């Protein structure tokens, strides 16, 4: 029986490449000249720590990181920007987490959208993925089309297609 998995993941190496390019851009930009701006990437936890002197530079660093990520193929929705920046002495810091895996609420929305589409497929939640099975590959491709049209707050990838 044909099936595929719906996941949301980022490749840590691609993120690291985008961060390295962003660091080079920050060093060369005129508005960052002479500043103590740093980006620390924790590959294990998939978190970024931005450190600089003021709020304006934090926002500029976030823009640079997102733009460089997009050019590397990382969806902008992969960055969790809900955590606010905070002062730490003479510097301002912000933690940014990368979303890796779907949460329960998003998986419920995806399953509900699939069931509401009227296609003859079954969707089941497993860990942080949603597995979709059906009798026809055309139905599975229809599910992919429906999900690409929706906004779930997470970038979705379709993996492990089996026929």
- Whether the model clears a pTM of 0.85, i.e. scores above it, the answer is no
Per the structure, the count of domains in the chain is 2
How does pLDDT run across 48-66, given as a tens digit for each residue? Answer: 999 999 889 999 999 999 9
Q: Are 94 and 84 in contact (CB under 8 A)?
A: yes
- pLDDT of 163 above 80: no
Whether 128 and 151 share a structural domain: yes
Query: Could you tell me where the beta strands, DSSP code E, fall in 22-71?
Result: 38-42, 47-52
CATH code, domain with 45: 3.30.70.990
Whether 33 and 86 share a structural domain: yes
How does pLDDT run across 133-157, given as a tens digit for each residue? Answer: 989 888 888 889 998 888 888 888 8
pLDDT tier at 47, thresholds 50, 70, 90 = very high
Range 50-78 burial, b when 16+ CB lie within 10 A, else e: bbbeeeebbebbbebbbebbeebebbeeb
Whether 116 and 91 share a structural domain: no
Whether 94 and 110 share a structural domain: no
- Burial classification of residue 111, based on how many CB atoms lie within 10 Å of its CB (0-12 exposed, 13-18 middle, 19 or more buried): middle
Average pLDDT, the chain: 90
Whether 45 and 122 share a structural domain: no
Report the 10 Å Cβ neighbour count for 110. Answer: 24
Report the 10 Å Cβ neighbour count for 16. Answer: 13
What is the end-to-end Cα distance of the chain in Å, rounded? 6
CATH code, domain with 143: 3.30.70.860
The secondary structure of 77-93 as a DSSP string is GGEE--SPPEEETTEEE
In the chain, the percentage of residues whose pLDDT exceeds 90 is 39
pLDDT tier at 85, thresholds 50, 70, 90 = confident
pLDDT at 96: 93
pLDDT at 127: 85
User: Domain of 140?
Assistant: 3-8+102-162
pLDDT at 87: 86
Whether 80 and 140 share a structural domain: no
pLDDT tier at 22, thresholds 50, 70, 90 = very high
Whether 57 and 89 share a structural domain: yes
pLDDT at 61: 93
């Amino acid at each position: 029986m044909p099936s595929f998995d719906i996941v949301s993941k980022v490749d840590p190496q691609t993120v690291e490449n985008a961060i390295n390019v962003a660091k080079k851009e920050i060093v060369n930009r005129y508005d960052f000249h002479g500043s103590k701006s740093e980006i620390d990437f924790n590959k294990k936890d998939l978190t970024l720590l931005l450190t600089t002197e003021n709020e304006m530079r934090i926002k500029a660093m976030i823009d640079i990181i997102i733009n460089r990520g997009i050019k590397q193929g990382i969806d902008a929705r992969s960055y969790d920007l809900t955590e606010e920046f905070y002062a730490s002495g003479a510097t301002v810091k912000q933690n940014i987490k990368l979303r890796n895996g779907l949460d329960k609420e998003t998986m419920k929305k995806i399953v509900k959208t699939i069931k509401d589409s009227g296609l003859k497929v079954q969707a089941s939640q497993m860990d942080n993925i949603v597995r979709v099975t059906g009798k026809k590959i055309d139905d599975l491709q229809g599910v992919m089309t429906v999900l690409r049209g929706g906004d779930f707050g997470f970038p979705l990838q379709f993996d492990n297609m089996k026929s």
